[in-house]
Amino acid sequence: MDRPIIGGKSSPAAPGRNAPSVLRITVDEGGQGQRLDNFLIRLLKGVPKTHVYRVIRSGEVRVNKGRAAADTRLEIGDVVRVPPVRVAERAQDAPAPAREFPVVFEDDHLIAVNKPAGVAVHGGSGVSFGVIEQLRRSRPQAKFLELVHRLDKETSGLLLIAKKRSALTALQDQLRARQGDKVIGKSYAALVIGAWPASKKVIDVPLHKFLTGEGERRVRAVEAGHEEAKRSITLVKIARRWRDFTLLDVTIKTGRTHQIRVHLTHEGHPIVGDAKYGDFALNKSLARGEAHFERMFLHAQRLRFQHPASGEVIELEAPLPPECEAFLATLPT
């Protein structure tokens, strides 16, 4: 199965018929500054990380004809020799179909798309492909396309994708440092069940990520003294009220997995349509009702950041999807 070379150009060395062959990859700007181990892990998708580290330690991987450590930083023009590696056959996995998504902003450094609900951002955990795989398939000429951050599959809205490693690093650094930052920010529209109290504007409750007995990833609110607690801060403003629901403008100051969903449920007001942490009976009723609302009402509506090259403050906005607007129109005030 052909595999795209990310961050370099490959030259096979005398491949045998239907057998893995040595690859010699010349690093370009997509791989500049990347650690050797991370470079190989992305290149050799499907190969266990333990095997990647084994071939590095054995000296089978070479950089400019010499042995190299896992933490070696690659530079433009470096030639990486990758030994033959067999990947488990996955003939049943069809290649990701090419797909473009609504573009909100694009230049030579990054793309911002408006992701629809129900589409994963990347493959894995039972999902064959997501936005990034489909976008790479749609743009085969692109040397570098990487997710800057993630959105849950059920969440719609603004998603940033870097077109250069320098942009990826700069944007991720901004997002990691956003706590207390007045320039960087992500805000979401969330429709919750019940009347949100006007006095509740800050949720500062630690979260703990764990796996269920079935191997499903979950998050729960915990006490501050919990040994694996991670401080998590969510800011909440009321955007509009209905008789039985409240539309919230939610800003996250920390980027924990399922942070908004767990925080709002912890406060007694789960998000409409949340299949993991929500009101399951109400979700089923809404899906079967006149509105046929079958998604989670969480939408990444605004994003503000400094451009990784110019430093200019970029403010992006994605309006509520039509199905969310249509559902709101059915609610009694």
Q: Where are the domains of the chain?
A: 8-82, 181-329
Whole-model pTM? 0.76
For residue range 64-100, what is the model confidence (pLDDT) as tens digits?
Answer: 999 999 889 898 889 999 998 866 544 445 678 999 9
Average pLDDT, the chain: 88
Name the superfamily (CATH) of residues 181-329. Pseudouridine synthase (3.30.2350.10)
pLDDT of 332 higher than 50: yes
E strands in the chain: 8-13, 22-27, 62-63, 66-67, 79-82, 103-106, 110-115, 146-147, 156-162, 185-193, 202-204, 207-211, 217-221, 233-241, 245-252, 298-306, 313-317
Contact present, 253 and 296 (Cβ < 8 Å): no
- The stretch 261-274 carries a mean pLDDT of 98
Rounded Cα distance between 199 and 61, Å, is: 59
Buried b (16+ CB within 10 A) or exposed e, 279-300: beeebeebeeeeeebbbbbbbb
Q: Which residues are catalytic?
A: 152
Question: By mean pLDDT, which of 106-120, 201-215, 287-301 is the weakest?
Answer: 201-215
Which of 315 and 184 is assigned the larger pLDDT?
Answer: 315
Q: Does domain 8-82 have CATH number 3.30.720.200?
A: no
pLDDT of 137 higher than 60: yes
- Model confidence band, residue 217 (pLDDT cutoffs 50, 70, 90): confident
Can you give the pLDDT at residue 29? 74
- CA distances for 195 relative to 76, 201, 202, 261, angstroms: 56, 14, 16, 16
